[in-house]
Chain A
Amino acid sequence: MTVLSVENLQTHFFTRAGVIKAVDGVDFKLDRGEVMGLVGESGSGKSVTGFSILGLVDQPGRVAGGSIRFHGEDLVGKSEEQLRKLRGGKIAMIFQDPMMTLNPVLRIDTQMIEAIKAHENVSKREAWERARDGLGAVGIPSPEERLRAYPHQLSGGMRQRVAIAIAFLNNPDLIVADEPTTALDVTIQAQIIHVAQKMCHERGAAMIWITHDLAVVAGLANRISVMYAGRVVEQGDTDDVIDNPRHPYTVGLLGSVPSANRRGEPLMQIPGMTPNMLNLPTGCAFQARCSRASDACKQAPVPSGEGHLVRCFHPYERVSA
């Protein structure tokens, strides 16, 4: 069952210096319980994609085209009030920095009860019980005590667990997680990934996991979409993309992750920098940094391939399994 289907999403920022096409034609589908990793460098448009789904793109940006169908209903063009009801209800968000996403002056119980009562007309007692059970479900010991705590009394990992608990409070069908483990220690990272994965399996929620860390999504996501300069350049099943990367950018990304079986060898680097979003080259945005670029790349490549899509004229060949 398709929960979310994004088609040709275009989110542009209309600044004085010109139009920034932060997201320029992104397509993907998410089924129930499926986790998709949205991978890319800073500024590739992955976070803006997430915010577009929630309808929280700040001025001067707006969704300029395409559709975001959630359970078949297009979210683009919905009123602020309709979107507000979905936010935190059927679509929830988890942020990068757990130090910043909880209000420092409000106790955990206040913030959780408020999140429930914003969407359902339940008694305070009932909301409190659900908040307590929510904290228990993400593996927080003695949840009654933690509910009375202020955010600064909890550790970073604990706070991110609280944030995950809040996201799942209203049984969402879709979670947008924006680099939720980037600010955490590696050991805590693993725990948080485990908790998020478990919650998705148990509740059947689909999740978009936005990250720049391929190693994180490799163990977590069912599918991977690699974004570059506002476009999805490669998309496919996780194992397929990791084992058989076809786009030169994905190959570069994978090559720049240190691994045990290449110890001592110099890491591969992608030369150059991400292009200026105000002034993208015509054709493929990656051509200036690509070792395989040719004259053909002056034209914009279209996605090709069955199941495993790649947006490139000169993709790497599949290694036959």
Chain B
Amino acid sequence: MTDQSLNPEDNTAAQAVLVETPFQRFVSEYADNKIAVVSLVVLVAIVVLAILAPWITPQNPYDLAQVSIMDAAQPPGTEAFDGYTMWLGSDGAGRDLYSAILYGIRISLMVGLASGLIALIIGTAIGLVAAYAGGRVDTLIMRAVDLQLSFPAALIALMLVAALGRGIDKIIIALVVAQWAYYARTVRATALVESAKEYVEAARCLGLSHGRVIFKHVLPNCLAPLIVIGTVQTASAIALESTLSFLGVGLRQTEPSLGVLISSGREYIISGRYWISIFPGIALLLTIVSINLVGDQLRDVLNPRLKK
């Protein structure tokens, strides 16, 4: 035996060799659940279709020149005035439903993601400050959060949209106001746990500024629950937008989100023209359910307490 092999540092060096990267482990754990994989595939397909909508749809439903009233409320499979086949039928304004749905998903996803992201940023910042500052600041912020969460999100959004008026920007503002508190509460809870850990104290002992400690050290450790709540809240933002649009206070008829399409088909459904409401409804259902299932699986994978 040589002196070299007695050196304990050799062992530790060997231990540190990587078997798989954390990302590879994450992927293989995610793939354990087949339903989650299918959901992810469906979600990706929906997103791709929505992004490619202008190139793969026969009609631009926003362009009034392309929409013909002659095609109004035609059943699935009818040939349109312009010569293409309307596989999913058309709505009361003569829009091809297949095109309208893809454009509708675009709007719904855009509204959901934008409001989700803005609410996440605002809520996270507020939650982190509350947890790190503690004391009166914390109490004040968290009572505001409690107050807000005691009202249903739909009610708050409804009141705001009623006050602000219609339009995409106003809907996004309303959704952000309705949802930031969920992020703030989650982040605060996680950040409180993290702040008590020694590495935060150690970071302060290095002479780092408060901002650096909060955003560089505490925030990255709060990401797992943030990702999970972010997916779930995005799905709920999409549902909320559809609800508002369905109730007629959300988006205008000229910007047909899925909710607007479903709402516009309501008056036809009694006369048997089911497709105007049903097909956008199915699209909405698939979108929300797939996002939620993906979020569930993310929660299971990212939460160490649920690990087998």
Partners in one complex: yes
Cβ contact within 8 Å between B202 and A102:
yes
With A103-B217, A103-B221 as contacts: A115 and B206 at CB distance below 8 Å: yes
With A100-B199, A149-B16, A155-B15 as contacts: A118 and B8 at CB distance below 8 Å: no
How many chain A residues touch B (CB < 8 A): the figure is 42
Complex CA gap A97/B202 in Å reads: 11
B306 / chain A contacts, CB cutoff of 8 Å: none
Cβ contact within 8 Å between B13 and A141:
yes
Looking at the assembled complex, report how far the CB atom of A33 sits from the nearest CB atom of chain B, in whole angstroms. Answer: 22
Instruction: Assess whether A154 is interfacial by the CB under 8 Å rule.
Output: yes
Cβ contact within 8 Å between B207 and A86:
yes
Complex CA gap A146/B12 in Å reads: 11
Pick out which of these stretches binds chain B: A36-44, A88-96, A227-235. A88-96
Interface readout for B203-237 with A: 1 if CB under 8 Å, 0 if not?
11111110010001100110100000000000000
With A139-B9, A140-B9, A187-B8 as contacts: A114 and B206 at CB distance below 8 Å: yes
Instruction: Assess whether A242 is interfacial by the CB under 8 Å rule.
Output: no
Cβ contact within 8 Å between A54 and B205:
yes
Cβ contact within 8 Å between B9 and A141:
yes
Cβ contact within 8 Å between A88 and B12:
no
Instruction: Assess whether A84 is interfacial by the CB under 8 Å rule.
Output: yes
Looking at the assembled complex, report how far the CB atom of A98 sits from the nearest CB atom of chain B, in whole angstroms. Answer: 9
B8 / chain A contacts, CB cutoff of 8 Å: 157, 187-188, 191
Complex CA gap A97/B199 in Å reads: 10
Cβ contact within 8 Å between A102 and B206:
no
A96 / chain B contacts, CB cutoff of 8 Å: 198
A140 / chain B contacts, CB cutoff of 8 Å: 9
How many chain B residues touch A (CB < 8 A): the figure is 27
Complex CA gap A23/B207 in Å reads: 24
Cβ contact within 8 Å between B207 and A118:
yes
Instruction: Assess whether B82 is interfacial by the CB under 8 Å rule.
Output: no
Cβ contact within 8 Å between B16 and A88:
no
With A100-B198, A100-B199, A103-B199 as contacts: A157 and B216 at CB distance below 8 Å: no
Interface readout for A128-150 with B: 1 if CB under 8 Å, 0 if not?
00000000000111100110010
Instruction: Assess whether B18 is interfacial by the CB under 8 Å rule.
Output: yes
With A104-B199, A154-B16 as contacts: A87 and B207 at CB distance below 8 Å: yes
Of B135, B198, B201, B221, the residue contacting A56 (CB under 8 A) is: B201
Looking at the assembled complex, report how far the CB atom of A186 sits from the nearest CB atom of chain B, in whole angstroms. Answer: 12
Instruction: Assess whether B197 is interfacial by the CB under 8 Å rule.
Output: yes
Of B15, B135, B204, B223, the residue contacting A87 (CB under 8 A) is: B204
Interface readout for B10-22 with A: 1 if CB under 8 Å, 0 if not?
1011011010000
Of B12, B209, B217, B221, the residue contacting A154 (CB under 8 A) is: B12
Looking at the assembled complex, report how far the CB atom of A179 sits from the nearest CB atom of chain B, in whole angstroms. Answer: 12
A89 / chain B contacts, CB cutoff of 8 Å: 207
Looking at the assembled complex, report how far the CB atom of B79 sits from the nearest CB atom of chain A, in whole angstroms. Answer: 58
A188 / chain B contacts, CB cutoff of 8 Å: 8
Complex CA gap A240/B208 in Å reads: 40
Complex CA gap A145/B16 in Å reads: 10
Cβ contact within 8 Å between A118 and B206:
yes
Q: Which residue of A lies closest to B16 (CB)?
A: A153
Cβ contact within 8 Å between A95 and B201:
yes
A163 / chain B contacts, CB cutoff of 8 Å: 202
Cβ contact within 8 Å between A106 and B207:
no
Instruction: Assess whether A85 is interfacial by the CB under 8 Å rule.
Output: yes
Of A106, A115, A154, the residue contacting B220 (CB under 8 A) is: A106
Complex CA gap A301/B12 in Å reads: 50
Cβ contact within 8 Å between B220 and A155:
no
B221 / chain A contacts, CB cutoff of 8 Å: 103-105
Looking at the assembled complex, report how far the CB atom of B198 sits from the nearest CB atom of chain A, in whole angstroms. Answer: 4
Cβ contact within 8 Å between B208 and A93:
no
Cβ contact within 8 Å between A88 and B208:
yes
Q: Could you pull out 5 A-B pairs where Cβ atoms are within 8 angstroms?
A: A100-B198, A105-B221, A118-B206, A118-B209, A158-B12
Cβ contact within 8 Å between B205 and A93:
yes
Complex CA gap A158/B208 in Å reads: 23
Interface centre among B202, B203, B223, by most A CB within 10 Å? Answer: B202
Complex CA gap A141/B9 in Å reads: 7
Instruction: Assess whether A101 is interfacial by the CB under 8 Å rule.
Output: yes
Cβ contact within 8 Å between A92 and B12:
no
B223 / chain A contacts, CB cutoff of 8 Å: 105
A285 / chain B contacts, CB cutoff of 8 Å: none
Q: Which residue of A lies closest to B208 (CB)?
A: A118
B199 / chain A contacts, CB cutoff of 8 Å: 100-104
Complex CA gap A154/B204 in Å reads: 23
Interface centre among B13, B209, B223, by most A CB within 10 Å? Answer: B13
Looking at the assembled complex, report how far the CB atom of A113 sits from the nearest CB atom of chain B, in whole angstroms. Answer: 11
With A100-B198, A106-B220, A191-B8 as contacts: A92 and B13 at CB distance below 8 Å: no
Cβ contact within 8 Å between A142 and B13:
yes
B208 / chain A contacts, CB cutoff of 8 Å: 88, 114-115, 118
Cβ contact within 8 Å between B207 and A119:
yes
Instruction: Assess whether A217 is interfacial by the CB under 8 Å rule.
Output: no
B205 / chain A contacts, CB cutoff of 8 Å: 54, 56, 87-88, 92-93, 95
Cβ contact within 8 Å between A95 and B207:
no
Looking at the assembled complex, report how far the CB atom of A321 sits from the nearest CB atom of chain B, in whole angstroms. Answer: 39
Q: Which residue of A lies closest to B218 (CB)?
A: A103
Q: Which chain A residues numbered 55 to 86 have a C-beta less than 8 Å away from chain B?
A: 56, 59, 84-86
Cβ contact within 8 Å between B207 and A84:
yes
Instruction: Assess whether A200 is interfacial by the CB under 8 Å rule.
Output: no
